[in-house]
Chains A and B, each alone.
Chain A
């Protein structure tokens, strides 16, 4: 039983609980979309999504919403993960897998450094 005995206790519970529900109210934070059309799923988008969710939870990240999206027409690059950070340009990661996804969470979402070599731009440049 979590007896709340101070405002700090309440704050702690609030922070924990907030992570569960902030997707309902918070539209300003970081937004991660995972392509989940047939192409995406076939290419392994589901484990990617699960890895992102797991990593976010493990690292206690709040203010991030994870959304699926349909096919954006780049089926050969699937699984695709798009990252919208407020105030920054959208970054599109391609050919993701669970490991890469976990690193993106750590480097991009938490530390603020996009991993350029996995993005669509770098693939196009090649």
Chain B
């Protein structure tokens, strides 16, 4: 059935939680009511990226972009736009509307600097319809590989493309495949790491939700390259929508003969099963992941032997993450030369980031390697809200580091980030403004690490806990000058001796904030002050006598009766009794109370 117009309602997790289900249902019923159901289709898609503006609706063929949709807007849009052809500008995303024209989505600043390879079909296709994926070229790369290339040629192509693992470590994908390919032991396995665990990161989830076939196709190509017939996707059980879409995609791919026996009429067989993780961060580490898949305690084991030699059930196994697999078909279809023309010398292609924190347009973006942080945060992300100053961007999840303003013009690639004390990680970007206390940020990420440490090796199990205890001490005003040395000593040993990647990178949040914001640590320790005014224990509230009109509002609202005074006379806060809740500060109508 050919439809003249397609209403694409975002069905990613972000928009679903902001109510896109109801919006889609409203479109379906209103379109039916208007008798347009034979001409206009309503399609649920994967993530568009602009989660901040959700629920997001894009209507084709115009490609116009409705943001923050509500079911009650729908009748008007159906009547005006779909029936009469006049987009309802008041519901469109403001940036796309000017007097002269309405810009399509891809021409907004949010999209203009992006380049979508891994996300190529997200928001464009119905992820639950394999034919839409096929229409966009899905499985052509697999067909090409199976019918015209040898496994060696596939590996060679991957090596030439320069693709590096998108899960964190950045190991060259082609090389990893080559190791596994060379192993004699069989059977071999292809494992997709979909255990995305960084707080605030949702790159992989969005790909699985928006274009699951790209992952399946990438896995099948990998299977052909290394000689594996069995694939496992290890996905968090907390990703129900991704799981559902993957399950549908696997079922459809089997029906179309694109998974299963004798794919494309060749003697290559490949099938994929889904295994659920219970959401332990450490299970993103490949050996811990394998243990979990095998039903064992999810903790890492020493490498070597690497999984390419001894992996799942002690057999040769490659493990790549979702985004890496999603890149594979694009590389095969467009060629290694095309892919390697994108990016920097040592980091090729694009990278998906989840942009969150104190930035105007939070969401999911994909940019060529080599884009600067400034472009991402200020152009694509639209800068810092409320006119605040940028302070730092935390990149790479809990294992990553904080990068300050002076390095905003660094081009992003694997190596530049490492040299700045951060890492690519899976691609979380948390923007922080001037109101952020960097010691507190380090504490936040370390708390996460301490919670998520598997407890196997001593430095991570005990060392990170001791570091957190020291940070607790510092942020509660009990820090001593030697504490910085202690932090550095522990951080160095943990980095040097922890068993796995999680442990070895655990101190990064502390090390990078110490590197760029040491003065904040010193202020906490020496002056007992939190410069950003975040650490409660280090704050004090005082009433400026000159400004106080003696209204008594503060005293009446103080929950611990720490404020006293006579009406029309300046009031005073008893510092001993004050619990620093900030109520007086908020209530004072004259700005007479200061927080220091």
A and B touch in the complex (CB under 8 A): yes
Q: Are A70 and B255 in touch, CB under 8 angstroms?
A: no
Q: Which of B104, B132, B143, B255 makes the CB contact (< 8 A) with A10? A: B143
Query: A17 and B62 in contact (CB under 8 A), knowing A6-B265, A7-B144, A53-B39?
Result: no
- Across the two chains, which residue of chain A brings its CB closest to B35? A46
The reply on B256 being an interface residue by CB < 8 A is yes
Question: At the interface with chain A, which of B4-12, B218-226, B296-304, B405-413?
Answer: B4-12
Whole-angstrom distance between the Cβ of B58 and the nearest chain A Cβ: 8
Cβ of A2 to closest chain B Cβ, rounded Å: 6
B15 at the interface (CB under 8 A from A): no
Q: How large is the interface on A (under 10, 10 to 19, 20 to 34, 35 or more residues)?
A: 35 or more
Question: In whole Å, how far is A4's beta carbon from the nearest beta carbon of chain B?
Answer: 5
Question: Is there contact, CB below 8 Å, between A66 and B84?
Answer: no
A20 to B3, Cβ gap below 8 A? Answer: yes
Once the chains bind, are B61 and A67 in contact (CB under 8 Å)? yes
Smallest CB–CB gap between A59 and chain B, Å? 11
Query: Assuming A5-B257, A14-B137, A21-B135, what are 20 further A-B pairs, CB within 8 angstroms?
Result: A3-B256, A5-B262, A10-B143, A13-B256, A14-B135, A20-B1, A20-B132, A21-B132, A21-B136, A25-B124, A27-B61, A27-B63, A33-B85, A53-B2, A53-B4, A66-B61, A67-B4, A67-B85, A68-B84, A70-B85
- Contact across chains for B63 and A17 when beta carbons are under 8 A apart: no
Would you call A120 an interface residue if the criterion is a C-beta within 8 Å of the partner chain's C-beta atoms?
no
For the complex formed, measure the closest distance between the CB of B127 and the CB atoms of chain A, giving whole angstroms: 13
Q: Is the CB of B132 within 8 A of A23?
A: no
Cβ B62 vs Cβ A67 within 8 A: yes
**Distance (whole angstroms) from the CB of A51 to the closest CB of chain B:** 12
Residue among A14, A19, A31, A56 with max Cβ neighbours from chain B (10 Å): A14
B265 and A18 within 8 A (CB): no
A70 touches B86 (CB 8 A): yes
Whether, in the assembled complex, A91 has its beta carbon less than 8 Å from a beta carbon of chain B, the answer is no
- Taken together as a complex, chains A and B put the C-alpha atoms of A50 and B258 apart, in Å, by 36
Q: Mark A69-93, 1 if CB is under 8 A from B, else 0.
A: 1100000000000000000000000
CB pair A24 B265 closer than 8 Å: no
Return the CB mask of A46-70 against B: 1 if under 8 Å, else 0: 0001100100110000000111111
Q: Does A125 contact B (CB under 8 A)?
A: no
Q: Which residues of B contact A14 (CB under 8 A)?
A: 134-135, 137, 140
Does the CB pair B124–A23 fall under 8 Å? no
Does B52 interact with chain A (Cβ within 8 Å)?
no
What B residues does A37 contact at CB under 8 A? 84-86
A24 nearest CB neighbor, chain B only: B60
Interchain CB contact under 8 A, B86 and A24: no
Q: Does B29 count as interface, using CB distance less than 8 angstroms?
A: no
> Is B139 part of the binding interface, using a Cβ–Cβ cutoff of 8 Å?
yes
- Whether the Cβ atoms of B85 and A5 lie closer than 8 Å is no
B134 proximity list for chain A (CB < 8 A): 10, 13-14, 17
Q: Is the CB of B124 within 8 A of A24?
A: yes
Q: Which size bracket describes the interface of B in this complex?
A: 35 or more
The 4 closest A-B pairs by CB, nearest first: A68-B85, A17-B135, A3-B257, A17-B131
| Chain B positions 142-196 with a Cβ under 8 Å from a chain A Cβ | 143-144, 147
Contact A20 B85 (CB under 8 A): no
List of B residues within 8 angstroms of A22 by Cβ: 135
Q: Which residues of B contact A7 (CB under 8 A)?
A: 140, 143-144, 147, 264
Separation in Å of the B577 CB from the closest CB of chain A? 64
Docked CA distance A70–B131 (Å)? 33
* A54 CB → nearest B CB, Å: 8
Chain B proximity of A79: nearest CB distance (Å):
12
Check if A38 sits within 8 Å of B136, measured CB to CB. no
> In whole angstroms, what is the CA distance A7 to B62 when docked?
32
CA distance A34 to B86 in the complex (A): 12
Q: Is the CB of B85 within 8 A of A4?
A: no
B294 contacts the other chain (CB 8 A): no
From 108 to 143 in chain B, residues with beta carbon under 8 angstroms from any chain A beta carbon are 124-125, 131-132, 134-137, 139-140, 143
Q: Which residue of chain B has the shortest Cβ distance to A57 in the bound complex?
A: B2
Given contacts A5-B257, A7-B143, A49-B39, contact A13 B131 (CB under 8 A): yes
A49 shortest CB reach to chain B, Å: 7
Residues of A within 8 A of B39 (CB): 49-50, 53
- In the complex, B83 has a CB within 8 A of chain A: yes
In angstroms, how far is the closest chain B Cβ from the Cβ of A17?
4
How distant is B427 from chain A, measured CB to nearest CB, in Å? 25
Shortest distance in angstroms between B418's beta carbon and chain A's nearest beta carbon? 37
B4 touches A69 (CB 8 A): no
